[in-house]
Each structure stands twice: as C-alpha cells, then as structure tokens.
C-alpha cells in the first residue's frame, strides 16, 4: 500500500480563490476592506518567513495587511500599548501576534490583551470557550485547516477513532476538541497523547486517524501506524538543511492510506484559515455575521 498524498497546497489555493471572491463582494457591498495587523517582535528568521507568507496570501486575497516590526528589546508594556491601539482602531479587523516572543515578555499576558473580536488566531479564552461549547466565533487556524483537509479528501471522520499527538494550546487541545464536536469532519472518538503517555505505540496502532503535533522530527514511525490509517503531520522541524515533519514520511506512507507531506500539507491551510478568520472578523465589525 502506498498512501494517497493529501495536497494541502492545492486545497489551500482553491480556498483562497473562493475567499478572494468573498472578500471582493464584502468590500463592494460594505466599502470595508478586511484588514489584518501582524506584530513581529525581534529578528527570528522563521517568524519573519511566516509573517511574509501571511502578508503575500493577504495581498492575493484582497485583504489589507499591515506589519508592525518591533525590536526584541521592547518591553512588555510597550507591546501592550501597541495592542491597545490596534484594539481601538476600527480599520483593523484581525490582530496576529507572531510567536515566539522574547523571553522577557509573558506570552499569555500579550495574547489575552488582544480583544476577542480581533483574535483571529483564536487564542483568547473567550474564543476558546465558545469553540469548546460548539458555537465558535473563530476556529483555531491549524486545527481548522486539518479539518478542511479531512473534509475535502473525503475521509470518514464520524465514528472514527482519532489520536492526537500533542497537547499544545495552539494545536493539540483544540484539535481534539474540534474532532469530538458534532458536525462535518468531526464526531470522532478522540484520545490525546503526550510526553507522559504510557505504551504510546499501542494506542496509535488502534487509530483510524492520527494527527501528529508533538514537535519531534520523524517521531511517528511505521510500526506505530495501523495499516490503512490516515496520517496528518502538523510538525515542521529543520533537520540539517531540510524541513521534515513529526512523521517518518517515507516508511509511514507505505502503511497509511493517506498522508500529508511536509512541507506542502497543513502549513498552507493554516494561512488560508487565518484569512478566513480575518474576513469573519470584518463581517462581525459591520454586523454581517454573529457567532452562535
């Protein structure tokens, strides 16, 4: 068996085309252009690349993007002043704080400072709570991207046993919660595994769907996969000069029925979902959409 490749780059491109039409229609009827403000603190090369890719995607979709570059010596209070200004700027609909932040800045304090109505990453506890209750204002970008890949690939999620590797606030926890909800690409039975999980391979070998977001290169090996399982690799790790996922792609692709590559799998979907959230935020700002 050789796994079918789930092409996130192609799916994301299709979604961005549809989104561009929606943005154009929204701007035409409201005279409001969706606007994403990104904050980049310091000179981390990977963060700079991520922000640049997000800006390019915004431009292609008709979404205005503004980058606020700040030195890594900025104080936490200085960063909070900028966030307060953006919160109160009616022309800004989404605020993205690129992570990681310098060690002297408390990440949670900064993320909590973003108003929930502009929290397009869905990190604020109010938005997380709404998502957990199944009435989201926004959906977390990477987990939502994973769901869209499962949906467009025609993968049966309802009734399936899904194992999520990793319990981060950004991917693992929300991914598990979204898979267990009622609805499309959901209704799964879910187990979350992490660094303290015992007999991990015994658990993963039972899974119909595995979402790997554990942050360890090539951690998931072929002997951990049930034949025919679907493997979604969220990880992105640099090994020497190569980007690899959390899954040992070659051997695992000989066991799985479908698999996402790294790069070109989940990554492009994360950006597409960020743009979707920015449009949603713009709609909320003019009363065209309500959560619930």
d(CA 203, CA 226): 10
d(CA 115, CA 24): 26
Confirm whether 54 is a catalytic residue: yes
Which position among 54, 118, 173, 248 bears the catalytic label?
A: 54
Confirm whether 14 is a catalytic residue: no
Residue 85 backbone class (left: φ over 0; alpha: ψ -120 to 50; beta: rest)? alpha
Confirm whether 121 is a catalytic residue: yes
Which position among 118, 119, 121, 248 bears the catalytic label?
A: 121
Sign of CA dihedral 47, 50, 56, 62: negative
DSSP 67: E
Which position among 14, 44, 85, 98 bears the catalytic label?
A: 98
Q: Which three-class secondary structure state does DSSP give residue 91?
A: coil
- Cα distances from 209 to residues 10, 89, 164, in angstroms, run 21, 42, 8
Q: How many CB atoms lie within 10 A of CB 213?
A: 23
Would you please indicate which residues are annotated as catalytic (active-site) residues?
Answer: 54, 98, 121
């Amino acid at each position: 068996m050789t796994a079918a490749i789930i092409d996130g780059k192609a799916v994301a491109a299709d979604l961005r085309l549809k989104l561009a039409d929606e943005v154009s229609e929204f701007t035409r009827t409201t005279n409001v252009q969706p606007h994403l403000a990104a904050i980049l603190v310091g000179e981390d090369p990977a963060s700079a690349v991520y922000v640049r890719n997000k800006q390019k995607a915004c431009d292609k979709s008709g979404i205005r993007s503004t980058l606020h570059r700040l030195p890594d010596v900025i104080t936490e209070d200085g960063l909070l002043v900028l966030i307060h200004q953006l919160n109160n700027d009616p022309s800004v609909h989404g605020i993205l704080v690129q992570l990681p932040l310098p060690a002297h800045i408390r990440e949670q304090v900064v993320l909590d400072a973003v108003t929930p109505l502009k929290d397009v990453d869905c990190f604020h506890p109010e938005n997380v709570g709404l998502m957990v209750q199944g009435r989201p204002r926004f959906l977390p970008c990477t987990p939502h991207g994973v769901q869209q890949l499962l949906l467009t690939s025609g993968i049966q999620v309802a009734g399936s046993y899904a194992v999520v590797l990793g319990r981060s606030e950004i991917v693992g926890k929300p991914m598990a919660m979204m898979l267990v909800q009622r609805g499309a690409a959901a209704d799964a039975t879910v187990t979350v595994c992490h660094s303290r999980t015992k007999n991990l391979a015994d658990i993963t070998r039972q899974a119909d769907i595995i979402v790997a977001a554990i942050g360890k290169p090539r951690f998931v090996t072929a002997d951990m996969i049930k034949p025919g399982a679907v493997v979604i690799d969220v990880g992105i790790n640099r090994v020497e000069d190569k980007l690899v996922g959390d899954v040992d792609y070659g051997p695992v692709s000989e066991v799985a029925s479908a698999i996402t590559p790294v790069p070109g799998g989940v990554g492009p979907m994360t950006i597409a979902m960020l743009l979707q959230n920015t449009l949603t935020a713009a709609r909320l700002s003019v009363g065209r959409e309500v959560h619930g």
